[in-house]
Structures are given as structure tokens and as C-alpha cells.
Amino acid sequence: MTTIVCFDIGGSAIKGALATSPEAIRPLGRVPTPLDDFNAFAEALRGVADAADAAAPISISITGVVDPRTGRIKCANIPCIDGRTLAKDLAAIMDRPVHVANDADCFALAEAMAGAGKGESIVFGAILGTGVGGGLVVDGRLVNGAGGFAGEWGHAPVAATHAGTPPVAIPSYLCGCGQIGCVDTVGGARGMERLHLHLHGESLPSTAIVAAWEAGDAAAVRTIDCFLDLVAGPLALVVNVVGADIVPVGGGLSGSPRLIAELDAAVRRRILRQTDAPLVVPGLCTVEPGLIGAAILAGAAA
């Protein structure tokens, strides 16, 4: 792999690194993300990239989705880039190749090549963070290499209207994507919090709900029971459709090994392939998976 300047960009910060391989990544620090001024956004990247290596290609892991047909990004968190052909626009400004992919896709790449999916043919990386996302890697290559819509299992109106044992009615919530009843509205941290409020009239952060569940609190047990029911079905469908060999999980909720183990058991009960081996597992690239995935993305394109 040639030297690559990598960025992991979110709505609050731009993290940079210089990579010579997926295992050799030197952090370059972080700067605030300019949200409303594209020129300032480009200059923030240029300043970091030029100081690190004035000629190396740039690879970006970013919140948002890139349309693989047009190269245009949909990114509500960073208004100044929303609707732009980001890779093309930045390449013109910086006079060097620029690669852009969704952060969930970069997580999936990192796990497939250097994490829990290393050596497996079909890796579906699932994100259970603030919301629900994912990416699909087959034989080492990202499906929809431009970081497009493949893997976005959180955005389809398929969330169950009843969940748990005994079943309880679950409202169909409006999703930020414009649809009603997406998995994203009841999965991930915000979804878990929404469920707990609906079931118990109590507003708690997801970290507190998971901790209470692990301690045996009855209300939290009920919430997690419903949460697992709502998330496991759609994830099992994904596994059946893509034939995933392994499903590494990233995002904040992956920090609870017990929660992921329970999700794994619930998914394996629902899929066609019968296996006693763990399928849904915590991701292993817990430090900077976006930067690792960005490095792999650019290396594959070279």
C-alpha cells in the first residue's frame, strides 16, 4: 500500500492519519468540522493533508451516503457538503486523488480485512450506535465501492408493531429519512431510549438502560427483550439475503459483550443456516475503524 492521508469526518470533528498499511496508521490530530462553509471545509482538509504528505492520495470515511451513480453525498450533519460530488470537488481543489465512503462501509472494510471478519468471504458490518447502519464486504471488496446505499438495513419501514414476551404494541415512529417505521427508529441507542420511554414512561440514556439490564432490573429487562426482538428479525433477514459468514458489530452498543451475545443468539434462532458458532460478534477494530477502513478503501482503488 502506498502512503495515504486518511480522514474520519463527523459533524463535530475531522480526525486525520497517515497510513502506510491498515496496521500502520499514524494519527495527525483533529480539527473542528466546518459545517456551513465548503471552502473552509476543504481548507481544513488541505491543511492537514499538505502538512503530512503533499502528494499522497486522500481517503475519507464520513457520515452520510454517497450515491454510487452520481457521486453526490447526502449528509444532513454537514450542510456545506450535502448534495455535492464530494470526491470530485475535493480532488479538483487539492490536485490529488480523493476517495470517499460512508463511515459504516469503512467500519465493514476494517473488520473484513483487519478485524473479526478477517479470512471470511462475506462480512456484513452492522452499526448499533446512535442509530442503525451497516456495510457489506464480499471477498475483500466493498459492495457499492463508492460508499452507496448497500448495507443500510436501518432504513426500511419493516420494524415490527409488536415485540417482547408477552408481546406489547410498539408505535411506528417517523424516521429521519422520511419514512415511518424504520428499524433505525427502534434500534441503536436512541431507539432503545425511545422504547424504554414508551414502555415505562421513564427517560434514561441507553448506557443506563444496558447497565440496569445487566444488573437484573425488571423494567430494563423488558426494554431489552423488546429491543432484541425488534432488531434481531431485520438483521436475520439481512443474514439470509447476503449469506454473511460473520456480522461484526460497531457503535456504542457494541461495548456491551452480553448485549451482542444475546443479539447473536436471537439472530441465529431466526436464520435458515443452523450454526452453534457465534455469528453476530463485537467488532475488533475498536480504535479508529473509520481511518483503518479509509486506508483499505484507497489501497484497493490504487
Q: What is the DSSP string of 181-228?
A: S-GGGTSHHHHHHHHHHHHHS----HHHHHHHHHTT-HHHHHHHHHHH
57 is a domain residue: yes
CATH at residue 144: 3.30.420.40
Same domain, 211 and 123: yes
264 is a domain residue: yes
Same domain, 16 and 157: no
246 is a domain residue: yes
- For residue 255, give its domain range: 119-282
Same domain, 87 and 169: no
Same domain, 256 and 161: yes
Q: pLDDT tens for the chain, 302 residues: list them.
A: 689 999 999 888 999 999 988 778 899 989 999 999 999 999 999 999 999 988 899 999 998 888 888 889 988 889 999 999 999 999 999 999 999 988 999 999 999 999 999 999 999 999 999 889 999 999 999 887 656 678 889 988 899 999 999 999 999 999 888 899 999 999 999 999 999 999 999 999 999 999 999 999 999 999 999 999 999 999 999 999 999 999 999 999 999 999 999 999 999 999 999 999 999 999 998 778 999 998 888 876 65
45 is a domain residue: yes
Same domain, 219 and 131: yes
110 is a domain residue: no
114 is a domain residue: no
Same domain, 18 and 63: yes
Same domain, 172 and 193: yes
Same domain, 21 and 81: yes
Q: What residues have CB less than 8 Å from 28, skipping those under 6 apart?
A: 5, 16, 17, 18, 48, 51, 52
pLDDT, tens only, 196-217:
999 999 999 999 999 999 999 9
